[in-house]
C-alpha cells in the first residue's frame, strides 16, 4: 500500500494555505468593498429592469428607471417634502419621547427592585400586546393628526428602550455596587458612576433597533388614518395599483432609516470613545 511522505511541506508545517488570493485581498479593502457593493447593486437593478415587462408585468413590478423618474418628479415639484416632513416629525417626536421615558423609568425600576418585581408582569403584558392594536384607540383619543402617530411611535419605542435599560442595569456587577455602598457612596454617585455608564451600551443598542420600529409605527399610523406622510403615499398608490409610486415611497423610507441608523452608530461610537478617554 502506498504511503504518504511526512516530509511534504504541508505535513511539516501542519497548516493549510487558506489565505485569499489577489482578488480576495482586493475585495477585503475599503475601496474593493465599495466597488463590490456598487457592482452587486448594479447587477440587481439591471436584472430588475430587464425582468420587468418581459418576465413580470410592469403592472405588478415597476422598473427602476420609472421609480427614479417618479422620485425626481416629487423632488422637482416639492410634493415629497410635505409628506416626508410629516413622517419625520411624527417619528422624531415619538422616538425622543419613547427613549427619554424608557431610560428614565428603566433607571427608576433599576434603583427600586421591589417596585420592579411588582410591576414586571404588567409591563410584560403590555409589551406582548401588538402595538398596532392600539392605533385605533389613539385615533379615537387624539384624532387623525399628529398626536395619534406620535403616541403610537412613542409606545413602540418605549418598551424597547425600557427593557434595554433594565438589561444593562441587571448586567452590572452587583459586587461593585455593594462595594461602593460599603464605602459610603450615595445613590446619586452610584447612578452617575456605575449604573448609567454600565447600561449605556445596552441603551444605544436598543436605540438602534428602535429606529426601525419607530419608522414602522409612524407608517402604520399613517396607513390607518392620515391625509399626509410617506405611509399615506404608500396607501394611496397601492389603492390605485400604482407599483411605481409604492416602490418610490418605500425607497424614501429605506434611505431615511439607513441614515438614522448610521447617525446613531456614529453617535454611539463617539460616546463610547469619550467614555473610554475619561
Domains, the chain, with CATH or none: 19-44 (no CATH), 78-277 (1.10.3720.10)
Of the two residues 168 and 3, the one the predictor is more confident about is: 168
What is the per-residue pLDDT across 96-131, written as a single tens digit (0 to 9) for each? 999 999 999 998 888 888 888 999 888 888 888 888
* pLDDT score, position 276: 52
In angstroms, rounded to a whole number, what is the distance separating the alpha carbons of residues 278 and 258? 30
In angstroms, rounded to a whole number, what is the distance separating the alpha carbons of residues 139 and 145? 8
* pLDDT score, position 238: 87
Using DSSP's 3-state secondary structure scheme, residue 184 falls into coil
* pLDDT score, position 62: 86
Contact 272, 104 (CB under 8 A): no
Q: Which of 46-50, 59-63, 94-98, 208-212 has the highest mean pLDDT?
A: 94-98
**Which among 229, 86, 94, 228 has a CA at the least distance from the CA of 154?**
94
Query: Residue 10's pLDDT band (boundaries 50, 70, 90)?
Result: very low
pLDDT at 45 over 90: no
Contact 201, 168 (CB under 8 A): yes
**Which among 196, 97, 195 has a CA at the least distance from the CA of 149?**
97
Contact 123, 155 (CB under 8 A): no
Bridge partners (DSSP) listed for residue 52: 56
In angstroms, rounded to a whole number, what is the distance separating the alpha carbons of residues 183 and 135? 50
* pLDDT score, position 98: 95
Contact 189, 103 (CB under 8 A): no
In angstroms, rounded to a whole number, what is the distance separating the alpha carbons of residues 28 and 235? 42
* pLDDT score, position 18: 57
Of the two residues 7 and 92, the one the predictor is more confident about is: 92
Amino acid at each position: 500500500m502506498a504511503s504518504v511522505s511526512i516530509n511534504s511541506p504541508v505535513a511539516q508545517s501542519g497548516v493549510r494555505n487558506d489565505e485569499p488570493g489577489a482578488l480576495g485581498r482586493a475585495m477585503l479593502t475599503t475601496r474593493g468593498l465599495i466597488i463590490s457593493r456598487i457592482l452587486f447593486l448594479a447587477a440587481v437593478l439591471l436584472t430588475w429592469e430587464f425582468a420587468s415587462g418581459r418576465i413580470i408585468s410592469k403592472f405588478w413590478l415597476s422598473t427602476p428607471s420609472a421609480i427614479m423618474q417618479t422620485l425626481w418628479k416629487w423632488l422637482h415639484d416639492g410634493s415629497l417634502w410635505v409628506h416626508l416632513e410629516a413622517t419625520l416629525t411624527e417619528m422624531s417626536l415619538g422616538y425622543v419621547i419613547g427613549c427619554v421615558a424608557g431610560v428614565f423609568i428603566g433607571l427608576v425600576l433599576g434603583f427600586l427592585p421591589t417596585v420592579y418585581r411588582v410591576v414586571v408582569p404588567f409591563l410584560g403584558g403590555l409589551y406582548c400586546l401588538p402595538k398596532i392594536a392600539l392605533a385605533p384607540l389613539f385615533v379615537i383619543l387624539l384624532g387623525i393628526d399628529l398626536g395619534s402617530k406620535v403616541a403610537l411611535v412613542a409606545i413602540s419605542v418605549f418598551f424597547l428602550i425600557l427593557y434595554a435599560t433594565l438589561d444593562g442595569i441587571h448586567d452590572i456587577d452587583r459586587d461593585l455596587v455593594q462595594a461602593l455602598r460599603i464605602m459610603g457612596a450615595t445613590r446619586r454617585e452610584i447612578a452617575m458612576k456605575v449604573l448609567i455608564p454600565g447600561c449605556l451600551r445596552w441603551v444605544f443598542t436598543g436605540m438602534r433597533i428602535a429606529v426601525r420600529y419607530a419608522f414602522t409605527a409612524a407608517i402604520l399610523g399613517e396607513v390607518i388614518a392620515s391625509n399626509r406622510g410617506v405611509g399615506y403615499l404608500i396607501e394611496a398608490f397601492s389603492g390605485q395599483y400604482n407599483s411605481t409610486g409604492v416602490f418610490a415611497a418605500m425607497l424614501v423610507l429605506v434611505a431615511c432609516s439607513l441614515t438614522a441608523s448610521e447617525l446613531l452608530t456614529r453617535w454611539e461610537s463617539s460616546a463610547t470613545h469619550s467614555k473610554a478617554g475619561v
